Structure 1
């Protein structure tokens, strides 16, 4: 019959074989519908792959000592989250103090931080500040940037972000970061475009 013709409502008798085939097709369709429904439901109920900490510490206070029992490093944070997959930790409002045998301690703080499982890599993020007090040879020093990798075991720090360093009335900035060796004697290597303002020392300062 061509399309557009009238369809007659006349019923046609089905054989037992045709009835069985129809029932099989219906059952197969219902099974497929059920499987798709269950699959969609399972996917919606599948746990998120988001990292979850295995423990959280509020009001962290920790200190490490050197071989003779003197303070070596002190770490405090509002909150610490430890992750079991790689042993790393995330910290909120961390403050790290690195002590020196013959100089003032180095204070590092930021809004957030990440520490690897061994504790020898610390990534400070957001509103990063490094401060070291005055010595007999140098005025207090403060460093500001947005992200800083600190290797406390070797007194080293680096960043690829804009950095600003102040010492008394002197200041210097670099657009593409710096490397800093912050041991007994501080040495800094700047990258990108650098600007500086250095106040000449007076006769009293030179004595």
Structure 2
């Protein structure tokens, strides 16, 4: 009986140790992604976005692109443009010829910013190493994130990381309601020669647009 207890204790210790090692590996890899991203002056990404839910019969795909420099960004997605100049967010909708101007609160946990793709995982998740796959000639290592807040509607998130460049290749989010959203990076460019006014809103470009100031 004593031998059985010793073996059981050793097995439990081995499992706990292995889990801790996997967590440390996952954290180290994510830290490398953050550090690599912060080393660039700017980042320009073309991406594909899909959302799927078999029960709700939802299966949609779309494309977009985003340019980021510091906390500033210009996002083109689903027929709209969102520009953040560091102080205000400008949502430009050509179909309606309307522009909404609002303040951006960095401290707001619910605020949406493309920049957060490279840092959102630093808080509120437990993580471990997942599968490794070769995709289009790239070695992609997945890290699985599990929300630590039980009220979070996300079941898990998989971050696919190119082990050579330490760039994020894709994000796969699985909701508790069965919805699966995937963001895949089609092209990743950095330190581009962007104009000084790239992240500046120019009202003169939209003479006929209705401007709505939300804040």
TM-score by length of 2: 0.33
Query: Which structure has the bigger radius of gyration?
Result: 1
TM-score by length of 1: 0.34
Q: Which has the higher helix share?
A: 2
